[in-house]
Amino acid sequence: AGPVGEGEGDTDANTKKKEGDGLNYVPKVGGTAAPVPRGPETDADGYGALMAAAQKSNETYRKVNDRAGIVPWGRDSNLERTEGEGVDWRHAKKDDLFLKGQSKRIWGEFYKVVDCSDVVLHVIDARNVPGTRCAAIERHIAKNAPHKHLVFVLNKIDLVPNWVAKRWMGELAAVRPTVAFHASMSHAFGKGALISLLRQFGKLHADKRQISVGVIGYPNVGKSSVINTLVSKKSCRVAPVPGETKIWQYITLFKRIYLIDCPGVVVDAAGDTEVDSVLKGVVRAERLECPEEFVPHILKTVKREHVAAQYGLPKDGDETWTTPEELMEMIALKSGRLLKGGEPCVRSAAVTIVNDYQRGKLPHYVAPPELKEDGKRGGAGGG
Ligand SMILES: Nc1nc2c(ncn2[C@@H]2O[C@H](COP(=O)(O)OP(=O)(O)OP(=O)(O)O)[C@@H](O)[C@H]2O)c(=O)[nH]1
Ligand SMILES: [Mg+2]
């Protein structure tokens, strides 16, 4: 299993993404759901066309999810029940740590937000699209609230190479209107496109006093950051750890448009291993009993040169590491984190590595489907 994206464009190059480089266009609300890169639709047939597009999207969606190598999120699991027959195994086996985003309260909040929203922004982490896209949410809306507009926000595109973002954009935009996004106060990307889309929804519902836009998604994907970027203000608390947003709140975008920040929800953790949960950033590194266990998995999905650069170590030669244990020892020694007897504190090095991985300092991504067929592979999230 080689590192991802070997020989492809590199992450560093992507800090330069500019609006209008072909990644984003402003999806037209009334247009058909043509794949994004083809450029803007001009005819606005209105609501009927949108519905037709949504129907067509179901088909495409099924195709995408059935493809080999894609792990659909949203496999049904009996999350609600905590005892009796058929109880979800997580309730018995895993402690609370791994149940982040799955409490009944958070699910209740989630349904409330969807109920109150005219538009739902489903925020997805560009580094792990299959792992942070939620089929159950899409199904719930299609089945119970087909009149609500569901939009994908492919966030954190600054953390993946441009071609990866583009490829995922193509996949997602075939299903729903999709906006590529980098949430940031100073270097935002996609802000103009998303605002313009929301304004169109506002016009579509000119009869309403206000429209509500629910921002939902997996924990830690950047929901609160997207809102802060849109309103250019730190309205919502943001943290590099999951579970930061605990209850939902309204934020005014324009006079008639309200955004709703919501705690992250995990839908399909049934198929997720503990490794998946940690690598997706759902679990805080500091709280792990044995963070060392996750380091070998991380090293499989991050290029060696990135690891070497991050910790100031040589990537080859006699002075480099050969095993994960050696790497952790080197990092601990280098940062002076020693145990009482002078032994390197491997645990603290492991916490550092997990944190750096979750926060984007160790670049990684799940490769888009076409690449998997070529024999290249994505890494994180058990991809
Ligand atoms: N590089 C990068 N980091 C981002 C981006 N968006 C969010 N982040 C970071 O991701 C982390 C989580 O962001 P939040 O906005 O708190 O995520 P959330 O989805 O609201 O998380 P919960 O409320 O815990 O569910 C923070 O450290 C953000 O700075 C982005 O576009 N690029
Ligand atoms: Mg939040």
State the pLDDT at residue 101.
53
86 CA distance to ligand 1 middle (Å): 35
Per-residue pLDDT of the chain (383 residues; tens, 9 = 90+): 334 333 333 444 444 555 555 677 555 555 444 444 333 343 444 555 555 555 555 555 444 434 333 322 332 233 344 444 433 333 333 444 555 555 566 667 677 788 889 999 999 999 999 989 988 888 888 998 899 999 999 999 999 999 999 999 999 999 999 999 999 999 999 999 999 999 999 999 999 999 999 999 888 999 999 999 999 989 888 888 777 787 778 899 999 999 999 888 765 555 677 888 888 888 888 889 999 999 999 999 999 999 999 999 999 999 999 999 999 999 999 999 999 888 999 999 999 999 999 999 999 999 998 654 444 444 433 33
72-99 CB burial, b ≥16 within 10 A, e <16? bbbeebebeeeeeeeebebeeeeeeebb
Structural domain includes residue 317: yes
Do both 105 and 250 map to the same domain?
Answer: yes
Distance of CA 154 to the CA centre of its chain: 7
Which residues sit with their C-beta closer than 6 Å to ligand 1? 155-156, 158-159, 182-183, 219-225, 238-240, 242-245, 263-264, 360
State the pLDDT at residue 302.
96
Say whether 32 sits in a helix, a strand or coil.
coil
φ, ψ of residue 341 to 5 degrees: the values are: -80, 5
Q: Which ligand 1 atom is the nearest neighbour of the CA of 359?
A: 27
Report the largest interatomic distance among the alpha carbons of the chain, rounded to a whole angstrom: 73
216 CA distance to ligand 2 middle (Å): 9
Among 19, 187, 238, 249, residue to substitute to test ligand 1 (most atoms within 8 Å of Cβ) = 238
Q: Is 218 exposed, middle or buried (0-12, 13-18, 19+ CB in 10 A)?
A: buried
Structural domain includes residue 3: no
Ligand 1, atom 10, lies closest to the CA of: 222
Q: Determine if residue 349 is left, alpha or beta; phi over 0 gives left, psi from -120 to 50 gives alpha, anything else beta.
A: alpha
50 CA distance to ligand 1 middle (Å): 30
Do both 106 and 145 map to the same domain?
Answer: yes
Q: Quote the CA–CA distance of 159 and 181 in Å, as a whole number.
A: 11
Judged by its nearest atom, the ligand closest to the C-alpha of residue 185 is: 1
Do both 232 and 352 map to the same domain?
Answer: no
Do both 238 and 139 map to the same domain?
Answer: yes
Q: Quote the CA–CA distance of 217 and 156 in Å, as a whole number.
A: 13
Structural domain includes residue 228: yes
Q: Which ligand 1 atom is the nearest neighbour of the CA of 238?
A: 16
The candidate with the shortest Cα–Cα distance to 270, out of 134, 379, 167, 111, is 134
Q: Which ligand 1 atom is the nearest neighbour of the CA of 239?
A: 16
Do both 225 and 312 map to the same domain?
Answer: no
- In the numeric block, the tokens 């605990």 are attached to 246
φ, ψ of residue 5 to 5 degrees: the values are: 65, 25
What is the C-alpha end-to-end distance of the chain, expressed in Å?
Answer: 11
Look at the chain and report how many structural domains it folds into.
Answer: 2
Structural domain includes residue 377: no
292-301 CB burial, b ≥16 within 10 A, e <16? bebbebbbbb
Structural domain includes residue 153: yes
Do both 156 and 227 map to the same domain?
Answer: yes
Ligand 1, atom 2, lies closest to the CA of: 156
Range of the domain at 175: 101-261
Is the separation of the CB atoms in 66 and 75 below 8 Å?
A: no
Do both 163 and 295 map to the same domain?
Answer: no
Q: Quote the CA–CA distance of 37 and 379 in Å, as a whole number.
A: 26
Structural domain includes residue 2: no
Whole-structure pTM value: 0.74
DSSP 7: T
Structural domain includes residue 76: no
Do both 112 and 224 map to the same domain?
Answer: yes
Do both 347 and 202 map to the same domain?
Answer: no
Do both 149 and 188 map to the same domain?
Answer: yes
Judged by its nearest atom, the ligand closest to the C-alpha of residue 159 is: 1
220 CA distance to ligand 1 middle (Å): 5
Is the separation of the CB atoms in 201 and 119 below 8 Å?
A: yes
Do both 215 and 162 map to the same domain?
Answer: yes
Q: Is 332 exposed, middle or buried (0-12, 13-18, 19+ CB in 10 A)?
A: buried
CATH code, domain with 325: 1.10.1580
Do both 255 and 114 map to the same domain?
Answer: yes
CATH code, domain with 158: 3.40.50.300
Q: Quote the CA–CA distance of 286 and 131 in Å, as a whole number.
A: 22
State the pLDDT at residue 44.
44
Contact residues for 49 (Cβ-Cβ < 8 A; gap 6+): 30, 31, 32, 43
Amino acid making up residue 74: G
Q: Quote the CA–CA distance of 54 and 163 in Å, as a whole number.
A: 26
The candidate with the shortest Cα–Cα distance to 153, out of 23, 266, 38, is 23
At 163, list the tokens: 């071609």
Structural domain includes residue 12: no
Say whether 212 sits in a helix, a strand or coil.
strand
Among 24, 186, 225, 233, residue to substitute to test ligand 1 (most atoms within 8 Å of Cβ) = 225
30 CA distance to ligand 1 middle (Å): 30
Strand runs labelled E in the chain: 119-125, 149-155, 178-180, 211-217, 249-252, 257-261
